[in-house]
Chains A and B, each alone.
Chain A
Amino acid sequence: MSRDEQHIDVHLTLNGREVSTRVPAQERLLDTLRYRLGLPGSKEGCAEGECGACTVYLDGLPVCSCLVPTFQASGRDVKTIEAIEPASLRPMLDSGATQCGACTPGVVMTACWVRDHREILRAHSVRELMAGNLCRCTGYDGIVDGIEKMLGGPGSKP
């Protein structure tokens, strides 16, 4: 195999299932998910780690899948928007947190991470935690309101 055609076998846990694939060394996790593994929910916005539309969990932490070479995900746990229970979206829909929808998968991934790790709110605000997800439609207030609803309203409000 020539130098510029290195392919790498990748075995990962994807949304709770063991998955194996073989990818070019330079392939990004975002592309592997969308075009190789049939999971197009993660979106490509900026392709440089700015907008967060491609957010997935890698070993339980939100990351931009556009900045992860797929081979680095081998042996690790990946969770995408497809594994998020649809009911999680309800508070977001009720709060005007969605409009055109391009940012929504990433927003929901980070929002659900905050919901599931609310101890982080002792030191961080919702807005700081959501700063890696850009939304050009909603002005963010709806997103923050939706997350506060997710968190259970008064008492858990950061």
Chain B
Amino acid sequence: MRVLSPKTVAEACAMLADSGGAAVPMAGCTDLLVHWPSNLAAHDRTYVDLTRVTDLRPVRWTDSHLELGALTTYWDIVTDARANREFPVLVAAARTVGAIQIQARGTWAGNIVNASPAADGVPALMACDATVVLASLARGGLTREEVRLDEFYQGYKQMRRRPDQLVEKIRVPRRSWAFSAFEKVGARRAQAITKVGAAVTRSDAAWRVVANSVAPTVRRCRAVERAIESGAAITRPEEFEPALRQDISPIDDIRSTAHYRGRVLARVLYFMLRGVAPGVT
């Protein structure tokens, strides 16, 4: 195992490029170290430790966006007064991740590239139309590509990130949210991996419905969004199920069953949206 320690984004990108796709960026290590000590052989590779790249740490507010650096942690957002005012759905999601010890270390960018379908930060970001900024070196200079988070995943753990690209930051447009909510169903409130979860927002008349742990990736539920937009009457949780069937493909696994996940997601959405979305009563 080898660790490289860049000081700048350009150095980090150069290390990723030089490794020929073998090097893995590391940040808060809350996923990596769960597996690493017990099975080091499987993780014997080159890591690019980002924690010395100070540029990647801050939360930045521009006129139009909230920008989370690659090293921005959940706790950074939980304790950010402005984030609490403007992005309550991000704060709500962050507070469900592990507990303070994990929130203090885990990063939003790590949550994205770990690519778990059960990621809790990702649905909240996706429901806010976040984009992922990928930095890489091309012909000696830094180039950047910006990908919508809801187009970032292509399959289970498959992402539109080349191995030489670094998630430099996440950009979240600042909007006026008419509604936002996050719900996580797990075995207990804290320190639990999600059985089924949802983040929902509404801004400028458009709904976003995103679910986790019900598909190979965190999944934007466009059929549900259309159903809500249409204003069609939904008077029972089960009436979300036809739309949900188009959106999700839950499985039985160690934490839950496909049947439970589908039923519970319908109920989560119904009770979240009842009296809020037109038609859901």
> A residues touching B (Cβ–Cβ < 8 Å)?
3-4, 6, 8, 25-26, 28, 47-50, 52, 55, 58, 61-64, 66-69, 71-72, 110, 113, 120, 123, 128-134
With A3-B1, A4-B1, A6-B1 as contacts: A26 and B191 at CB distance below 8 Å: no
Contacts of A67 in B (CB 8 A): 29-30, 33-34, 102, 105
Contact of B3 with A64 in the complex, beta carbons under 8 Å: no
Contacts of B37 in A (CB 8 A): 26, 28, 47, 66
Contact of B101 with A63 in the complex, beta carbons under 8 Å: yes
Contact of B101 with A69 in the complex, beta carbons under 8 Å: no
Secondary structure of the A side of the interface?
Answer: mixed
Q: How many A-B residue pairs have CB under 8 A?
A: 92
Task: Show 20 residue pairs from A and B whose CB-CB distance is below 8 angstroms, ordered by the A residue.
Answer: A8-B3, A25-B1, A28-B33, A49-B33, A49-B102, A52-B99, A61-B75, A62-B104, A64-B101, A67-B33, A68-B105, A69-B33, A69-B49, A71-B3, A72-B49, A110-B100, A128-B95, A131-B100, A132-B102, A132-B191
Contacts of B100 in A (CB 8 A): 61-62, 110, 113, 129, 131-132
How far apart are A27's CB and chain B's nearest CB, in angstroms?
9
Closest Cβ neighbor of B99 among chain A residues: A132
How far apart are A108's CB and chain B's nearest CB, in angstroms?
14
Closest Cβ neighbor of B36 among chain A residues: A26
Q: Please report the C-alpha to C-alpha distance between residue A47 and residue B38 in the assembled complex, in whole angstroms.
A: 9
Given A49-B98, A69-B3, 8 additional A-B pairs, CB 8 A:
A6-B3, A28-B33, A64-B101, A67-B33, A68-B29, A128-B189, A131-B191, A132-B98
Contact of B2 with A49 in the complex, beta carbons under 8 Å: no
Instruction: Sort A-B residue pairs by CB-CB distance and give the 8 closest, nearest first.
Output: A132-B99, A131-B190, A61-B104, A131-B99, A132-B101, A67-B33, A48-B34, A64-B101
With A6-B1, A25-B1 as contacts: A71 and B49 at CB distance below 8 Å: yes
Q: Which of B5, B49, B95, B101 has the most CB of A within 10 A?
A: B101
Interface size class of B (residues with CB under 8 A): 20 to 34
Q: Please report the C-alpha to C-alpha distance between residue A68 and residue B36 in the assembled complex, in whole angstroms.
A: 11
- The interface bits of chain B over 1-12 (1 if a CB of A lies within 8 angstroms of the residue's CB, else 0) are 111010000000
Contact of A49 with B1 in the complex, beta carbons under 8 Å: no
Contact of A68 with B33 in the complex, beta carbons under 8 Å: yes
Contact of B44 with A134 in the complex, beta carbons under 8 Å: no
Contact of A50 with B191 in the complex, beta carbons under 8 Å: yes
Kindly state whether residue B256 has any CB partner on chain A within 8 Å. no
Contact of A128 with B190 in the complex, beta carbons under 8 Å: yes
Contact of A25 with B2 in the complex, beta carbons under 8 Å: yes
Q: Please report the C-alpha to C-alpha distance between residue A131 and residue B188 in the assembled complex, in whole angstroms.
A: 10
How far apart are A34's CB and chain B's nearest CB, in angstroms?
13
- The interface bits of chain B over 34-59 (1 if a CB of A lies within 8 angstroms of the residue's CB, else 0) are 10111010001000010100000000
Closest Cβ neighbor of B49 among chain A residues: A72
Contact of B99 with A4 in the complex, beta carbons under 8 Å: no
